[in-house]
Structures are given as C-alpha cells and as structure tokens.
Structure 1
Amino acid sequence: MRRRSRRLLPATVVVGLAFQAPPVDYHTYRNARFGYSIPYPAALVRPQPEAPNGDGRRFVSADGATTLTVYGSHNALDHTAHQQLTMSRQSWQEKGATVTLAKVLPGGYVLSGTLHTSIFYEKASLQNGVFSTFIWQYPAAQKPRLDAVVSYTARTFRPGR
C-alpha cells in the first residue's frame, strides 16, 4: 500500500480561514447625471428609485436597518472640502451624533461616528465643482460584519466629473 503524504496547513492559516467572512456579492450603481459610481452589496435588496432630479439613490437592507445613500451635488457656493466637512459635521451633531473621525483628504473628506445605536460613515470627493458623496448608516452590532464592506466601497468609490 502506498502511503500518501499529506500537507498540513499551518495552524494560523487554518484559524484565519475559519474566521473569514463569506465573500460579498456586489453590484455597481452608476449615476448618469454626475458620473460617479459605487459598488454596493447585493444584500441591500431594496434599492430605492433614483431621486427625481437624478442626483443619487438610497440602498436599504431587507430589515431597513442598514442604508447606503449616494448622491452628487454642484458646489454652487464654492465651498472647500473643509467647509463642507464642517457643515456636515454640524448637521450630524444637531441630530445627536457623536463624531469620532473628521478628516479633510486631498480632494474631499471623511466623517464617521455614532448616532444613537447606529454607526455612520460619510465620504465626499470634490472634483470639477461637484461633490460626490456616500453615507453608510448601520446598527453598531453589525460593525464586525460591515467594516470590510464599508472599507471596500470607500476604496472603490469613483467620484464624478
């Protein structure tokens, strides 16, 4: 009888594989008016109709607890990314949010924090007089599951014009 050699994976690889989240299936939303695009998880099964003015769309989970809102807007008041961040931060705080991250980036900003029992993450890009923005809002209990999804959309979001 021939003896087969078995290769064993190192324990750290086996443990790492055991705790990996299942792959997420993504679709892509492309906005014709402002030219931005963003991947969104197929699990957001209730995409809302595009806004009547064509600026964006909201995607909602089956239970309604998780949303991804994406929109474009003309920078008619010629705000800098810092000014827009300040206004957005103030808006969240007026709703009762605690802001934990507010950072101006080259050509945009990120803003994150908590609102009651939810986490929000907002990212905006300013290019050619247009702000392209997306906002995730989801239950804090979903943070371990959604961190990678939010990170992926933040990395792959393509601002418009």
Structure 2
Amino acid sequence: MKKQLFIQLIVSLALLTLAACSNHEYQKAMDQGIESLAEKDYHKAALYFELALREQANDEQASAYYEQAKEMANAIEAANQGNFEKAINSLSVVINQKKGLKSLQEEAGKLEEQIQFKKETVYNFQEKLEQVKSLNLEENYYKVKEEIQLLEETIYSNDILSTYQADVTRLKEQLELFSKEKDKAKKKADQMKKEEALKQEEAKKEEAKKKQVSYQVYQNARFGFSIQYPSDLTMAPPPTNGDGARFYNNELEIVAFGGHTNIIDSGETIETYYYQDIVNISAPIGYQRLTDDWYVISYNENGTTVYKKFFFDDSTFNSFIISYPASKQEQYGPITDHIASTFITDTY
C-alpha cells in the first residue's frame, strides 16, 4: 500500500514539473512574440506565437496574437507586391480579431489607410496611363507629349509607381518614333511638293515658250501695206498680179491683199464694201465696227472663227482675213490681236 502511494506521489511531482516547464516555455514564447511585434517583425512574432500554441494549443490569446501577426506579415508582403486587395483583407482580419492586441489593431488601421491611398494612387495612375495609350498620335501628338511628361513627374514623386516607368518609357519611345516618322513623311511630302512645283514651273515655262510667237514681216510693194505673220506659217506662192499673200498651217490661215476702189462704180464709199460683206455673211456676226476709213467684222461659221479688217480710201483698199478653229481661240486670239494692231496700211 505504501509503495503504491509513493508511486502516485512521484507521478504527481513529475506532472507538476512538466506543467511548470510548459508554462515557462509558453510565457517565454509569448514575451518574445510581443517583443517582435514592437520591432514590427511580424513574421518572427507569428513564429513565436505559433511556438506558444504548441505549449498551450487551446490558448485563445496566443491564437489571436498568432493570427494578427501572421496577417500583418501577409498584408505587408501583399502590399509590397502591389496586391492591395489581399493586403486590405489581411488587415481586416487583424482589426476584427476580438481577443487581439489593441495596439496592433490600431497599427493595422493606420496601415490600411496608407494602403488604400496607395491603391487609389496606383488605380488613378493606371487609368490615366491607359487613357494616354488610347489617344491617337496623329490627332493628339502634343497632348500625348504633355501627358507623358506629367506621368513621369507623377512617378518621380511616388515610389510606388516606379514599376510603371517601363510603360511610360515605351510610350515615350513610341511618341519619339512617331515624331521621327512624321518628320520624315513631312520632309518627303515637302520634297514631292517642291518637285511638283518645279515640274509645274517648267510646264508653265514650256507652255509660255509655246505661246511665244515670233513674227516675220511681209511687205506688199504694189499696194504699200505690210503685215506681221507667225514665222512658223507656210507662205503660199504669191499671185502673179502681186496683190497680196497667203500664210497658213493646218489650223491658221492669214490672207492679206490690196485692190483698187471706184473702178466698177464711181462714188464708192467704205459703206459700199461694209454692207456688201454683211449681206454675204450667212453666219451670226459676233463683232462688227464701222469707222470713216476702216471696219472690222468677226463671226463664227461652222466651228471656224473668221476675222476681217478692211481699210479704205478713194483709190485703193488694204485688207486681211484671219481664220482658225473656234476651239483654239485662246491660242490664236492673241495672234489676231497682234496682227490687227501691227498692220500697216497705205490708205492713210
């Protein structure tokens, strides 16, 4: 009987010793965990509180502290990785832990505000960055350039945005490339425009050269008149009586001639010839003018423009007739004007 009691006593003493040792390890782990929290080493604190739970598995305080330390460590790690939602969720666990440390809950609240601010800063920056990326460079070149500068300034003033520097740099490179391509295209367009202007200038010179007409002078000795005619016209063989000449190409014809008045009928006047021409012309007359000693009649007949000028005195007349396609008025009209203004008559 005495032996049995002795054994029981030995067992009880052993249990008390073990319990005392367990309580000591538990308290030591809890104290080290609290010290780690003060140093903001939340991962280390979680390890100590986990050790305390091994000594006292059902301890609510150790369990609460462990959850707080673990989630604080998770929150900081998630925030550093830019996973703000996960960080905020972890902090929510810390704050809502009923048996947790109040000081840690307050710390978690402050950290949550900071992370919310970072979250909004990053979100606003991302949104602005996407807006700039979506702008059409052709239409908004200067706006994009200005926005890129603002984005770079924002990154410079916020360390949390440093990861977006590569995106902004690529956007800046795209803008610079676009600018170079645009300058290249502009230079090419300017060169083409310059070349086209030179071509047009050369064409104008060539056209002007074509329009420049050199003239030769024909003088009629018998009736004393002279006429200037384009030098590229062919002169027909003159009539044997020497009363005039005919010049022509495949479009233009000039006939200059003279004659005597008052031969068939005495008392002829300039009106005699003028009205005789009017009667003989069947086409509508476009222009006509009668003076004391000359008249002009111009008309269009079957697509051909005919211009006649007639000079009169009591013994002789001088006249010329010019005809050409009406469609070539721009080309032959100035020639007609030149001949009319330079014709020299002997009737004055």
* Same fold per superposition (TM over 0.5): yes
Picking from 249, 256, 278, the partner of 1:70 is: 256
Picking from 221, 237, 240, the partner of 1:32 is: 221
Matches within 5 A, 1:144-159: 144-159=330-345
Are residues 1:49 and 2:237 paired? yes
Are residues 1:91 and 2:277 paired? no
Picking from 301, 315, 320, the partner of 1:115 is: 301
Structure of greater Rg:
2
In structure 2, list runs of 5 or more residues that go unmatched: 1-200
Q: Give the partner amino acid of 1:60.
A: Y
Give the equivalent residue in structure 2 for 1:23: 212
Q: Give the partner amino acid of 1:83.
A: T
Tell me how large the CA RMSD over aligned residues is: 2.1
Q: TM-score, normalising length from structure 2?
A: 0.38
- In structure 2, how many angstroms separate the alpha carbons of the residues matched to 1:67 and 1:123? 14
Structure 1 ranges of 4+ moved more than 2 A: 18-22, 76-79
- In structure 2, how many angstroms separate the alpha carbons of the residues matched to 1:41 and 1:104? 27
Q: Give the partner amino acid of 1:144.
A: E
- In structure 2, how many angstroms separate the alpha carbons of the residues matched to 1:102 and 1:84? 13
Deviation at 1:128, TM superposition (A): 5.0
Q: Give the partner amino acid of 1:53.
A: N
Please state whether the residue corresponding to 1:34 is helix, strand or coil.
Answer: coil
Please state whether the residue corresponding to 2:218 is helix, strand or coil.
Answer: strand
Which one has the bigger helix percentage?
A: 2
Larger relative contact order (Cα-Cα within 8 Å, sequence gap ≥ 6) = 1
Please state whether the residue corresponding to 2:281 is helix, strand or coil.
Answer: helix
Q: TM-score, normalising length from structure 1?
A: 0.79
Which one has the bigger strand percentage?
A: 1
| More divergent stretch after superposition (18-27 vs 102-111) | 18-27
Give the equivalent residue in structure 2 for 1:6: none
Q: 1:128 to 1:80 in 2, by over 3 A?
A: closer
